Amino acid sequence: MSLSRDLLEKDLYKVLGVPKDATEAEIKKAYRKLAREYHPDANKGDAKAEERFKEISEANDVLADAKRRKEYDEARALFGNGGFRPGPGAGGPGGFNFDLGDLFGGAPQGGGGAGGFGGGLGDVFGGLFGRGGAGPRTQPRRGQDIESEVTLSFTEAVDGATVPLRMSSSAACKACSGTGDKNGTPRVCPTCVGTGQVSRGGGGGFSLTDPCVDCKGRGLIAQDPCEVCKGSGRATSSRTMQVRIPAGVSDGQRIRLRGKGAPGERGGPNGDLYVVVNVESHPVFGRKGDNLTVTVPVTYPEAALGGEVKVPTLGGPPVTLRLPPGTPNGRTMRARGKGAVRKDGTRGDLLVTVEVAVPKDLGEKAQRALKDFAEATAGEDPRAELFQAAKGA
């Protein structure tokens, strides 16, 4: 075995400070630069530099060698540090059902079905290193991300809510253990010889690969199709989950719930769940970020003379707002701490906009009073400035 486990636990790319997809030339360049910097000759007696130099050399030994680099990459992927890479036999059902416990030396689960691969750590590494990397792809696979949607009432969005979310995801068919075959013994697809892919000439020396049509990219064909899944090997499972939507979400917001997506396979992590939130409107309140808004009708005397006005709040007792004399129509005032919950638990404000209400029907007494008022203020022309400004411009 050419790579020690010790080495596998290190991120050699990080050691050299290069990206995972670095070219040979980039690796060479990075190594030379670092080697010069940390060379023992240039750092006499500096134990740290010496240690670093060793590390750099070690990383270069692996990454500069295409074959060893490939082995390293594949082995790292097995430890869950890399993503899932689809490849021949990737979807091999039933065959590769071991978990991380196996990888780290636990008892092998006899999973040797269709893929003919039933082992633990020894087999995996044997396949990768001992037999030249020709073994089946057995990387842990991260579960899929799932997107869902939920509709909350206005109040739920402000306060946060726990809502049931029904989700369906694709899982291995239980009846046939995901093989698609009634007896659990599918045969290798003759069209693609089990790779799940077929190449077609693309001209100019290129060849393109497509998923195999005959086996739908699975590499296997059921001899006697499973009746439950019609030979697909997949089943749709649905579950209902209680999902906590944090306080203060707004309409159209997309929330990520880590690890709540589809379960990972072969020890891979779960996918994430994304929930798009729709928020219903409220007949009275609106939202402006952390603040709530409300429009409150006031009478002309209240606006002109000033006074105290009661204002409703969302889910709490009303607050009293003091209008200063001469409050103009449309003036917005602030009731502190009566808004939506923020991330840190504090609340935004309630923005109260006053709207002077004009009575439709006036009693005789009110009419008389208003006429008196009109007479008393006859000298004031509210449009004088308007006409002045219109002429001036």
Binding positions for Zn(2+): 173, 176, 189, 192, 212, 215, 226, 229
148: helix, coil or strand?
A: strand
Instruction: Write out the E strands in the chain.
Output: 146-152, 161-172, 187-188, 197-203, 206-211, 220-221, 234-245, 254-257, 273-279, 286-288, 291-298, 307-313, 316-323, 332-335, 350-356
Query: Smaller CB distance to Zn ion: residue 186 or 271?
Result: 186
78 or 198: whose CB is closer to Zn ion? Answer: 198
To Zn ion, the closest distance from the beta carbon of 96 in angstroms equals 17
Amino acid making up residue 278: N
Q: What are phi and psi of 346, to 5 degrees?
A: -75, 170
Euclidean distance between CA atoms 170 and 62, whole angstroms: 39
Residue 176 lies near Zn ion (rule: CB under 5 A): yes
- Give the pair of three-digit tokens for residue 33: 């630069």
The correct pick among 15, 192, 222, 262 for binding Zn ion (CB under 5 A) is 192
> What are the backbone angles phi and psi of residue 383, rounded to the nearest 5°?
-105, 5
Distance (Å, whole) CA 263 – CA 169: 9
Site string for Zn ion, 211-230 (x = CB under 5 A): -x-xx----------x-xx-
- Choose between 215 and 292: whose C-beta lies nearer to Zn ion: 215
Smallest gap from residue 134 Cβ to Zn ion (A): 19
Work out how close the CB of 169 gets to Zn ion at its nearest, in angstroms, rounded to a whole number: 16
Question: Which residues, numbered 229-248, are part of the site for Zn ion (CB under 5 A)?
Answer: 229
- Does 191 bind Zn ion (CB under 5 A)? Our answer is yes
- Give the residue with the Cβ less far from Zn ion, 75 or 220: 220
Annotated binding site: 173, 176, 189, 192, 212, 215, 226, 229
Residue 294 binds to Zn ion (criterion: CB under 5 A):
no
> How large is the C-alpha radius of gyration of the chain?
35
Q: Which residues from 144-173 bind Zn ion, rule CB under 5 A?
A: 173
Q: How many CB atoms lie within 10 A of CB 371?
A: 10
Which lies closer to Zn ion via its Cβ, residue 120 or residue 136?
A: 136
Q: Which of residues 194-213 bind Zn ion (CB under 5 A)?
A: 212
Nearest approach, Cβ of 223 to Zn ion (angstroms)? 13
Phi, psi of 365 (to 5 degrees): -65, -45
Question: Would you say 28 or 234 has its CB closer to Zn ion?
Answer: 234
* Nearer to Zn ion among residue 103 and residue 226 (C-beta): 226
Count of residues binding Zn ion (CB under 5 A)?
A: 12
Please tell me whether residue 374 adopts helix, strand or coil conformation.
helix
DSSP 3-state of 220: strand
d(CA 354, CA 103): 68
User: Cβ 94 to Zn ion, closest distance in Å?
Assistant: 11
Q: How far is the CB of 39 from Zn ion (least distance, A)?
A: 54
Residues with Cβ within 8 Å of residue 212, at least 6 apart in sequence: 189, 191, 192, 195, 196, 197, 198, 219
Beta pairing class for 350-356 and 291-298: parallel
Select the residue interacting with Zn ion from 15, 128, 189, 275 (CB under 5 A).
189
Q: Which residues bind Zn ion (CB under 5 A)?
A: 173, 175-176, 189, 191-192, 212, 214-215, 226, 228-229
